[in-house]
Amino acid sequence: QGRFTLLRDTRTDGSFLVHHFLSFYLRAGCKVCFVALLQSFSHYSIVAQKLGVSLAAAKERGQLVFLEGLKSCLDLLFGEEEQPGQPSPLGFLSGSSSDLRALFDFVRLSLTPADGDSWKGPVLLVDDLSVLLSLGASPVAVLDFIHYCRVSVCYQLKGNIVVLVHSNEDSEDEENELIVNSLCHHSNLILWAEGLATGFCKDVHGQIKIIKRLSLQQAGEQDVVQIYQYKIQDRNVAFFARGLSAAVL
């Protein structure tokens, strides 16, 4: 409860973690607000089906609130004038405001429990935060958004947040690095998917570093770091200890 998990990827695509968390929380019976900025609903839906969860059904019964960033953006630009009472969550795009307040309001509204809701714990899932920078939001605005979400979702509503960001070593994208570093400091758990340092391999797609930030909870405690390697298959991901891939044994 009240945990902030950061998903981070470097030199590889960490979106399999997002798919995992989405189906995990839906199966656990939580109310999920998914801010999907990079892909369409059908993409997530098809993968979720492979993992055994139906997004359409979840949406119908009110368990899943799905913000499809691409569609929302198109509606904003090519649609009719927005109603004053219903600002678009991506309103910052049209320049009317420079902060992500509208997006935060959307999140808060969707996760505030309504009467008759019997879901366990709200969850906010974001894929992925780096896109907001590409769309013109300033790093401060993005950090503010995350901060407000944490206060609202983690502390007030006792829910969880899972956010995906991309990062690269030798990245020249300073704004992105700023956000990633800041979020790392504030996360309870960091799942860092990295491409192998030695290059591309067919049998081991990458390695994942799991960092449990115990130092946040108690002074003097060390963070626990675990490293596994993984291979992504069609319906699941196989994890194994370093060097013990099935191809080698």
CB of 41: closest distance to another protein in angstroms? 9
Calpha distance 178→180 (Å, rounded): 6
Q: Which of 85, 220, 233, 249 binds another protein (CB under 8 A)?
A: 233
Range in contact with another protein (rule: CB under 8 A) among 33-41, 119-127, 149-157, 241-249:
33-41
Token reading at 36 = 């999907």
d(CA 227, CA 210): 6
Tell me the window of 55-63, 140-148, 174-182, 218-226 that interacts with another protein (CB under 8 A). Answer: 174-182
Report how far Cα 136 is from the mean position of its chain's Cα atoms: 19
Count of Cβ atoms closer than 10 Å to residue 90 Cβ: 24
Instruction: Tell me the closest approach of the beta carbon of residue 91 to another protein, in angstroms.
Output: 10
Of 58-66, 104-112, 127-135, 152-160, the window that binds another protein (rule: CB under 8 A) is: 127-135
Helix, strand or coil, per DSSP, at residue 225: strand
Q: Tell me which H or E stretch contains 16.
A: helix 15-27
Among 35, 64, 125, 131, binds another protein (CB under 8 A): 131
Binding range to another protein, per CB under 8 A, among 100-108, 150-158, 180-188, 199-207: 199-207
Rounded least distance, CB 161 to another protein, Å: 21
Question: Which is nearer to another protein, 160 or 207 (by Cβ)?
Answer: 207
Q: Which two tokens stand for residue 155?
A: 């502390």
d(CA 38, CA 156): 28
Least distance (Å) between residue 44 CB and another protein: 9
User: 3-state SS of 83-133?
Assistant: CCCCCCCCHHHHCCCCCCHHHHHHHHHHHCCCCCCCCEEEEEEEECCHHHH
Q: What minimum distance in Å lies between the beta carbon of 45 and another protein?
A: 9
Interface contacts to another protein, rule CB under 8 A:
11-13, 15-16, 19, 38-40, 42-43, 46-47, 50, 70-71, 73-74, 76-78, 93-95, 130-131, 133-136, 166, 168-169, 171-176, 195-202, 205, 232-237
